[in-house]
Amino acid sequence: MQINKQNIIFISGTDTNVGKTYITGLIAQQLQSKKCSTITQKWVQSGSTDYDDINEHLKLQNKPFSEIAPFINAVCPYLFKFPASPHLAAQVENKEVSVQKCLTATHILSNKADFLLIEGSGGLMVPLNTQETTADCLEKTKFPTILVVKNGLGCINHALLSIEALKHRQVPLVGLIFTQANPDENELVIQDNPKIVAKLAGLNTVATLSYNPNQEEITSQLASIIKKIIDIKG
C-alpha cells in the first residue's frame, strides 16, 4: 500500500489537552479559504461515545456531519468510551489498535481531498498499542508533522523534547503552533516561549495564538504554516 505523503499532515502535541483538535479544525478552515478541499481524521478517539473531535473539526469548518458520514469508519477507525491512551482504552473493551488498519483508512481518505489532516492522540510517545507509539508510526510513514504546544511555564522543555524525538526519527517538522489555554499566564513567559524554542530548535515556522483569538489573528498567525503545507504538496 503506497500512501501519498504529500497531501497528509499529522498534528501532534506536547501533551494531551494542548489544543490539537482546535488547531486541526482551524488549519482545515484556513486551507478551505485557499480553495483546498480538506478531510480530517482521528485514528483513535477515547473518552467518548460519539466522534467528539471530528465533530469539532467539522464545526470549525462549517461542515455537516453528513459530509463524512459515508466513510466515518475511515475518518475515525477506533472509538472508545474509556478516557485513556489508545492502548489502555482499547484494552478496557478487549480490543487492540491496529496501526495497519489506521494507515489503510488514511490511504482511503488521502484520495478524497486535496489535504488530509490527521489529529494524533495525546503526545508523540503515547502508545497506540503495547508495541507501538505514535512516534514509531511517524518514523515509518514520515508524515510531515505540526507540533501543538500549550504555551505556559514548563512548555520549553516539553517542546524541545518533542522536537528532538521527531528529529531523531527523521520526521519532517512543518512548524510549531503555540496555544494559550490560560488567560492568566505571565505575559513575559508567553511572549518568550515561542522565541526561545524556535531559536534553540532552529525553526522559522512558528505560530502563536492568544487566548480566544479572533479570526484576523488566526489567519495572520497561521499564514506561514498554511503556506508551508501548500508548498509541501507542490
- 42 catalytic per annotation: yes
| Spatial separation of the C-alpha atoms in residues 25 and 45, rounded to whole Å | 15
| Spatial separation of the C-alpha atoms in residues 152 and 134, rounded to whole Å | 24
Residue 179 and residue 149 in contact, taking contact as beta carbons nearer than 8 Å? yes
Q: Are strands 8-13 and 115-123 parallel, antiparallel or unpaired?
A: parallel
Residue 83 and residue 46 in contact, taking contact as beta carbons nearer than 8 Å? yes
With H, G, I as helix, E, B as strand and everything else as coil, classify residue 75. helix
Catalytic residue among 5, 20, 35, 42: 42
| String of DSSP letters for 132-184 | -BHHHHHHHH---EEEEEE-STTHHHHHHHHHHHHHHTT--EEEEEEE---TT
Q: Quote the strand ranges of the chain, DSSP E.
A: 8-13, 38-42, 44-45, 78-79, 115-123, 145-150, 173-179, 206-208
Q: What torsion, rounded to 10 degrees, do the Cα atoms 51, 152, 208, 216 define?
A: 70
The residue whose grid cell reads 480553495 is 35
| Catalytic site positions | 42
